Amino acid sequence: MNIKLRCQSCHKVYPSSEPVWSCKCGGLLKLDFHARFPLDRIQKRKPTMWRYREALPLEHDEHIISFDEGFTPLVEEQFSGKKVLLKQDHLFPSGSYKDRGASVLVSKIKELGIKKVVEDSSGNAGAAIAAYCAKANIECDIYVPEKTSPGKLLQIEQYGAALHKISGNREDTAKAVWLAAQSIYYASHYWNPFFFQGTKTCVFEIVEQLGWNVPDAIILPVGNGTLLLGTYIGLKELQREKIIDTLPKIIGVQAKNCSPLAQAWKKHHQIKNPFIWKETIAEGIAIAHPVRAAEILNAIQETHGAMITTGEYEIIDALHSTLRKGYYIEPTSAVAIAGFKKYPMKKDEVVVLPLTGHGLKASEMFMKIE
């Protein structure tokens, strides 16, 4: 495989054998890699995300770290009288879709021969990296805001990771890990481009489950954009290989209390800095300054998508209505359901919505919700 890392700022190119997660100029990296889809072989393989092996940027199979994750169910439901297909990515081994990114990234980390990593998270990404590092026998330090859901903190520690609780908000946690990442490899779910190469498999599965067809729209909760950007990358690869002809609309949903991307979208991509935000029940997407904001907004624009914001009561209402249908999801995941309820859906439109995190991670939070 010819895999390279290219800086989006200065365009410097690094070989994939070099353990870099950002450019020396401070710029964000993206992968130059030709994904391929041999459908005849794919359809004969077992139903995991690694069935798309030729589309995943790893040199050697022996480095793959996997729990046979992926190919989660796609089921039809109704909310507010509108049909939607729910992609049940809350059913992953660590309880969130971030296992997709962790599987590819930790596999690459093993291939690079790295023995220790750091990561920062509001919970789910940290749990995913901790789980896959445990399987790979790689030491990891996870930095989290001290107010993170206790269930997520316990989960991270039980995997054997070293937990660092940082006082303050999500941005303070990012600053703390940044210092550690100057000397230890940063297994970041938003800086490291290999993570997106895992999250893109969600849309590969959706397209295959729809008979190699695209839906009309995909609705996603968005904070750092790890699922949204993965979705966009995957769609572009499928289109390049002529598996699909058109791109579905990508609809990003944010909580009103922390909606820098939605506000920037309204202001023609002008990102307000500093951005003032309030606490939200959707802790997983409470990101005031997403580092890949420009990429996220460009992905939405290119697919003729949109941004939707939802209030706290709307999120709680969506959470309750989803739970009453038997899907035990965390509040962050319900943001997309709340967004779908507000989405101006056209007749016969096919809409897909991933459920991103399991409710067992947020049991303490449920006790506080009236």
Give the start-to-end residue ranges of the domains of the chain.
Answer: 1-33, 74-95+197-368, 98-193
Q: Which of 2, 11, 23 is nearest to 192 (CA)?
A: 23
- Hey, what are 97's tokens? 């879709």
> What 8-state DSSP symbol labels residue 345?
P
> What 8-state DSSP symbol labels residue 287?
-
φ, ψ (nearest 5 deg) of residue 347: -60, 135
Decide: helix, strand or coil at residue 334: helix
How much is the pLDDT for 268? 74
List pLDDT tens digits, range 135-178: 999 999 999 988 888 889 999 999 999 999 999 888 889 889 99
Give the integer Cα–Cα distance in Å for 140 and 208.
34
Give the integer Cα–Cα distance in Å for 14 and 294.
22
Is it true that domain 98-193 has CATH number 3.40.50.1100?
yes
Residues 6 or more apart in contact with residue 301 via CB below 8 angstroms: 269
How much is the pLDDT for 174? 87
How much is the pLDDT for 305? 98
Of the candidate CATH numbers 3.60.21.10, 3.40.50.1100, 3.30.930.10, 2.30.40.10, the domain formed by 74-95+197-368 belongs to 3.40.50.1100
Pairing outcome for strands 82-87 and 74-79:
antiparallel
How much is the pLDDT for 21? 96
Give the integer Cα–Cα distance in Å for 162 and 142.
6
Question: Which regions in the chain score pLDDT beneath 70?
Answer: 269-275, 370
How much is the pLDDT for 270? 67
- Asked if 74-95+197-368 and 98-193 have one fold, the answer is yes
Answer for the pair 66, 103: CB distance below 8 angstroms, yes or no.
yes
- Whole-prediction pTM: 0.96
How much is the pLDDT for 274? 62
How much is the pLDDT for 12? 97
Give the integer Cα–Cα distance in Å for 122 and 32.
29
φ, ψ (nearest 5 deg) of residue 240: -60, -35
